[in-house]
Structure 1
Amino acid sequence: MNMALILLLILVNGYGFFLMGEDKHRAKAHKWRISEAHLWSAAVLFGAAGSYLGMQYFRHKTKHPAFQIGMPLLIILQLILLGYIQVI
């Protein structure tokens, strides 16, 4: 796999992880929250694994069915797409 792609995946997944932690922190502090659309955007842009790890680590959005089901499905889809890209 291309080194630039690996670096990009690390950055995007790190950002997804960070967003989950930041949103959890803001929720506990009763501050302005990060929108679910923004959380999903980071996940859709190949940051689903980091977002999912952030969900579990920070125990955030774990009771929301859209996140419970959607995030693992998105990870599977992204792995398939990355495998397809690797073949090309």
Structure 2
Amino acid sequence: MIFVMSYLLICNSLLFVLMYVDKQKAVKRQWRIPEKTLLFLGLIGGGFGGLISMKAFRHKTMKRSFKMIYTLGTVFAIFLLVYVNR
């Protein structure tokens, strides 16, 4: 149980920070974090951090793929927590 919670905390925190960094780099027109990296982290459990960061930083909000993948990642994380707790 503690392993799964730690894993999800790390994924969500990392994605939240990477979305912030990507937003800052976008504003400064610098090199960006690849979208597939952000999407992958969202899919493997960091979806909630991705959704929160989309709202907090107003970043990638128009991209439908990000909304879908982050929602799917959030559902996956909830499923994982429920599965481990039974």
Q: TM-score range by the shorter chain?
A: 0.7 to 0.9
Q: What are the ranges of 5 or more consecutive residues in structure 2 without an aligned counterpart?
A: none
Match of 1:12, SS state, is helix
Paired letter, 2:18? L
Q: How many residues align?
A: 86
Match of 2:82 in 1: 83
Report the aligned-residue RMSD.
1.5
More off after superposition, 3-12 vs 16-25: 3-12
Summarize deviations over 1:11-57 as a string: whole Å, max 9, x none. 11100100110100000010000011100121122111111111111
Structure 1 segments of 4 or more deviating over 4 A? none
Assess, with a 3 A threshold, how the Cα gap between structure 1 residues 48 and 84 changes in structure 2: closer, same or farther: same
Tell me the TM-score normalized by structure 1.
Answer: 0.84
SS in 1 for 2:67: helix
Higher relative contact order (CA 8 A, sep 6+): 2
TM-score by length of 2: 0.86
